[in-house]
Amino acid sequence: MKKISVVMFSLLFLTGSYCAVWAGNNAGAAFKAWPDTGQEECYDNSSTIGNDNWPEKGEPFYGQDAQYQGPFRSYTKLGRSEDGELIELPKEASTDDGWLMTRDNVTGLIWEIKQNRDGTEDHGNPHDADNRYDWCDTDENTNGGAEGCNSTNNMEEFINQLNAMQYGGFSDWRMPTVKELATLVNIGGKFDVDGDNSIDPAIDTDFFPETMPYNYWSATTDMTDQENAWYVCFDNRCVYELMPKNKPVYVRAVRGGRSVTEDRFIDNKDGTVTDKVTSLMWQKCLMGQSYNDITDECEWNPNSNGYYMWEEALEQCSELELAGFDNWRLPNRNELMSILYYSSYAPAYDASVFPNMFPEDSNSCSGNFYPYTFWTSSTAFEYDFNFNAQPTSAFFVDFCMGTLCSLDKTGWFGTLRARSVRSMDVDGDHDYDKDIDGADLANMAYYSKFGNGYDAVCDLNYDHWITSEDIEEFAKNFGRVQETPVYY
């Protein structure tokens, strides 16, 4: 058995021998890991559940978002030294101290910060928080078939301004894809819970100041109507596509990232699917169906129509026993959004991997959308008649068009479908070839360098950070070949 020392590994990572980066396309995402949603409370159908009374397995409302934390949100302020070197700044640093950009330490993406929010647009300053721009992309390879560009104040000119001035010392700024932009949404923040009719933007304002609690353009065209594009709401936390490209909307630039494989799913032929990008294991069939290992098909259970209220979906997913695992749960909004495909619609997912989600006789998203709409474990706030926000809804994902928004938990507007997910056990086998080798070492080296993002496969001690402890565990596994297939 080959062995590798921690010292040898550290030398590889310090030399920076594995640091190639690529930008995502208009429908993809240049990162592997989604940060945690930010939700830190548990809720029933209408109120907050106190921390001392959080539900346990087998109790109502068990298995919701706050009970399963993903990679912790982590940001670093970046600037330039007097000699032009890229430097990390303390959390309390301000723009007067040279703060220029913010790096997301989970995704590895570097984001523009805004300034001068005073109610007046100043397009001479691309960082002005009040500026709004039309959607514009003249590249036919990424604009989805319609370039927009209906005015001079458009998002392509905004990006050109940043790159011409080499903002932050870089000239590769771009508009974020819808998935990249959605990673910034923090649903754990204030949503008028004090009843003062105010809404704070759903983002960490310590690292993204002057953010408007409104809509921000993404670079992703709506494939149901190419004259529209996707945008992310930093007020109600939703992701929509019904925005004409000629409408002025707020913007934020991004750069960096790392390519991810398109060949991302492994059908384990036991009713489960492994996602090599996020290191999550998914239930192949819908809740209410059973997997037939002889025919490799999903079959409806007797007396089940596959529709649930939110509490029922939580219960069904947390009680699932499948492929020898009993730690299944209802996915949070980020996890469920991760398997959306924004390059297609009807369906907006990989139908070869997840069967029976979309009626075979349908080729549009018109009519009843409930067959394609799935609950998440994440609670959403809705206004009551007194304009006070209450936790009476939960987020859903529509796998017909790709919309992410919220509905009443009790089925007032309809019951939805559900699919289970589980976090996998990992050992550093990044390429899932059952051999811990040099390719996995290169991946470990890359993600062990702080700032390059997070990869669950490298998090061998499950603490949501890639540290020297993970390196030590990886060194123990290096050179191991598994004689029989195992599930991670």
Q: Which residues contact 326 (CB under 8 A, 6 or more apart)?
A: 320
Cα-based torsion angle of the residue sequence 434, 436, 440, 441 in order, rounded to the nearest 10 degrees: 180
pLDDT band at 368 (very low <50, low <70, confident <90, very high): low
- Same domain for 217 and 275, yes or no, is no
Which residue matches tokens 């509905």?
407
Domain count, the chain: 3
- Same domain for 415 and 356, yes or no, is yes
Q: Which domain holds residue 228?
A: 73-105+109-257
- Same domain for 394 and 447, yes or no, is no
Report the pLDDT value the prediction gives residue 262, as an integer from 0 to 100. Answer: 64
Report the pLDDT value the prediction gives residue 13, as an integer from 0 to 100. Answer: 35
Residues 296-348 pLDDT 10s = 999 999 988 889 999 999 999 999 999 999 999 999 999 999 999 888 888 88
Residue 1 has pLDDT above 60, yes or no: no
Tell me the two tokens of residue 12: 């590889």
Residue 51 lies in a domain: no
pLDDT band at 212 (very low <50, low <70, confident <90, very high): very high
Tell me what the mean pLDDT of segment 27-39 comes to. 83
Residue 60 lies in a domain: no
Of 53 and 431, the one with more pLDDT: 53
What pTM does this model have? 0.86
Which residues on adjacent β-strands are paired with residue 76?
103
- Same domain for 291 and 245, yes or no, is no
- Same domain for 410 and 278, yes or no, is yes
Report the distance separating Cα 382 and Cα 390, nearest Å.
Answer: 5
Least confident of 247-261, 292-306, 411-425, 438-452: 438-452
Which residue matches tokens 């936390």?
237
| Domain-ending residue, one of 404, 423, 442 | 423
Residue 485 lies in a domain: no
- Same domain for 162 and 122, yes or no, is yes
Report the pLDDT value the prediction gives residue 46, as an integer from 0 to 100. Answer: 93
Report the pLDDT value the prediction gives residue 200, as an integer from 0 to 100. Answer: 77
Residue 225 has pLDDT above 80, yes or no: yes
Least confident of 236-240, 390-394, 401-405, 406-410: 236-240
- Same domain for 215 and 275, yes or no, is no
- Same domain for 239 and 133, yes or no, is yes
Residue 416 has pLDDT above 50, yes or no: yes
Tell me what the mean pLDDT of segment 114-139 comes to. 95
- Same domain for 217 and 93, yes or no, is yes
Residue 49 lies in a domain: no
Residue 43 lies in a domain: no
Residue 388 has pLDDT above 80, yes or no: no
- Same domain for 87 and 147, yes or no, is yes
